């Protein structure tokens, strides 16, 4: 006997769950909040995604695949590799100031859960490593293009820009001014001169 087909789009439901977790965090999100946002029944949620923690882990993976890819695309675009790094950092400032800054879901989760939840810590680490690798690839291209000195420690710079990007988003969530965020980015970018 074949089970009943799903009467909802799993990707849309997952996207909605991710948005709720991103906006409110894990602890402040109830199962009912998720059901309301996902527009599915409790049974459908448990049958398809498992319990709240499993759904959260899946939402974190989805965040890593979908939200992070925008940054990766920007950093790997044609043209000047350092120009791409500058554009990515400017975009971070714009996102941090868009009026509804939720921060980075990975950073929010790191603060809320990663210290006490090894599975979540691994998911956060994977996302941050993905961001670091994107910066690293761009910075290595900058060396090849002659935009950075051959002696530049591109791995250390990639780690620095990953941390700076996370800091900009956190500061934005804390209502920092555009001038403050631009100062942070300007000083960070000065390491590339």
Tens digit of pLDDT for each residue in 46-88? 999 999 999 999 999 999 988 888 899 999 999 999 999 999 9
Domains in the chain: how many in total? 1
Q: What is the average pLDDT value for the chain, to the nearest integer? A: 92
The reply to whether 73 falls in a domain is yes
The reply to whether 31 falls in a domain is no
Q: Has residue 189 got a pLDDT over 80?
A: yes
Rounded mean pLDDT of 170-192? 92
The reply to whether 50 falls in a domain is no
Give residue 75's pLDDT.
97
Rounded mean pLDDT of 11-39? 96
Give residue 5's pLDDT.
52
The reply to whether 14 falls in a domain is no
Confidence of residue 10 (pLDDT cuts 50, 70, 90): very high
The reply to whether 89 falls in a domain is yes
Give residue 4's pLDDT.
54
pLDDT tens profile 113-160: 988 999 899 999 999 999 999 999 999 999 999 999 999 999 999 999
Give residue 1's pLDDT.
43
The reply to whether 170 falls in a domain is yes
Rounded mean pLDDT of 97-111? 83
Confidence of residue 185 (pLDDT cuts 50, 70, 90): very high
Distance of alpha carbon 63 from alpha carbon 106, whole angstroms: 8
Confidence (pTM): 0.88
Range of the domain at 130: 64-192
The reply to whether 12 falls in a domain is no
Q: What is the CATH number of the domain that holds 75?
A: 1.10.357.10
The reply to whether 42 falls in a domain is no
| Range of weakest confidence among 11-25, 145-159, 162-176 | 162-176
């Amino acid at each position: 006997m074949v089970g009943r087909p799903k009467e909802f789009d799993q990707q849309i439901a997952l996207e909605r769950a991710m948005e709720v977790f991103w906006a409110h965090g894990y602890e402040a999100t109830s199962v009912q909040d998720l059901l309301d946002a996902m527009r599915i029944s409790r049974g459908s949620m448990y049958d398809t995604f498992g319990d709240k923690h499993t759904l959260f882990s899946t939402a974190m993976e989805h965040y890593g695949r979908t939200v992070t890819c925008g940054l990766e695309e920007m950093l790997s675009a044609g043209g000047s590799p350092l120009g791409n790094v500058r554009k990515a950092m400017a975009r971070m400032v714009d996102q941090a100031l868009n009026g509804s800054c939720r921060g980075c879901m990975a950073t929010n989760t790191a603060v809320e859960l990663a210290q006490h939840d090894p599975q979540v810590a691994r998911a956060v680490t994977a996302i941050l490593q993905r961001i670091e690798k994107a910066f690293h690839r761009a910075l290595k291209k900058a060396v090849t293009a002659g935009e950075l000195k051959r002696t530049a420690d591109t791995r250390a710079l990639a780690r620095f820009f990953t941390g700076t990007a996370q800091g900009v988003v956190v500061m934005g969530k804390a209502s920092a001014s555009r001038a403050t965020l631009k100062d942070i980015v300007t000083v960070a970018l000065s390491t590339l001169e």
